[in-house]
Amino acid sequence: MADDPIAILFDIDGTLISSGGAGTRAWALAFDEVYGVNVDISRFSDLGMTDPEVGAKSFEAVLGRKPDSEELAHLLDRHVNYLSQTVNESAQYRVMDGAEELLTDLIERGYMLGLVSGNSKKGAHIKLNRANLNRFFSFGGYGSDSADRTELTRAAIVRAEIVFGGHIALEQYLAVGDTSRDVTAAHAVGIKCVGVATSKFNTDDLLKAGADFVIGSLREGLPI
């Protein structure tokens, strides 16, 4: 079929893995190191936000002003530095149900797999490395490309065409994510999105957000 997907774009946190709070702990360590303040970013951020958004919102909430670009860049750098440690130490780190089997199956069936993640590129690879999942992905768009999830999704699409070596129609992409932000960003660039109801957003939430399909877990497979 002409509109059979070629490239499938996966969100990371809550979709492929759960870091068991490793990201939150890395933010706490970074804020403590740089500003000597105790910060729980979960009070100021939502699932599906990009790291630059999380850092800027938490900074503003705690320090009472917006960070300048150098301050934010430094904080992001310290966050990702602590992330290797907190991911490795995380007792609750887990691969989401069916993720590895699905990725293996999709690669064997010839699909190109990419990442769309609010993590920085380095942070994304740190989080996937613990479960040896980086090997499935040949391109991606990251929080280090843009603080805006729509823009980083667009970056993933540009890179998909480079890896593919030609044009891929928007109908031939499929995004997979666990939050309404994944759905909104996919639709903003014109691609379909499968919601995976494995974290805070249940099937109704994802359908309400406009997801084209919803599955209960990756073990159910994708509608392709």
Binding mask 16-55 for Mg ion (x = CB under 5 A): ----------------------------------------
Q: Please select the residue that binds Mg ion; options are 9, 10, 14, 83, rule is CB under 5 A.
A: 14
In a 13 Å sphere around the CA of 70, the CA atoms on its Cβ side amount to 0
- The stretch among 20-28, 76-84, 168-176, 178-186 that binds Mg ion (CB under 5 A) is 178-186
Q: Specify the 3-state DSSP secondary structure of 153.
A: helix
Q: Which is nearer to Mg ion, 86 or 119 (CB)?
A: 119
**Residue that is written with structure tokens 């990009």 in the block:** 50
Q: What's the closest the beta carbon of residue 166 comes to Mg ion, in angstroms?
A: 30
d(CA 42, CA 98): 27
Is 178 among the residues that bind Mg ion (CB under 5 A)? yes
d(CA 190, CA 144): 22
Return the exposure string of 101-112: e unless at least 16 CB atoms fall within 10 Å of the residue's CB, then b.
ebbeebeeeebb
Q: Which is nearer to Mg ion, 67 or 137 (CB)?
A: 137
| Contact positions vs Mg ion (CB under 5 A) | 11, 13-14, 178
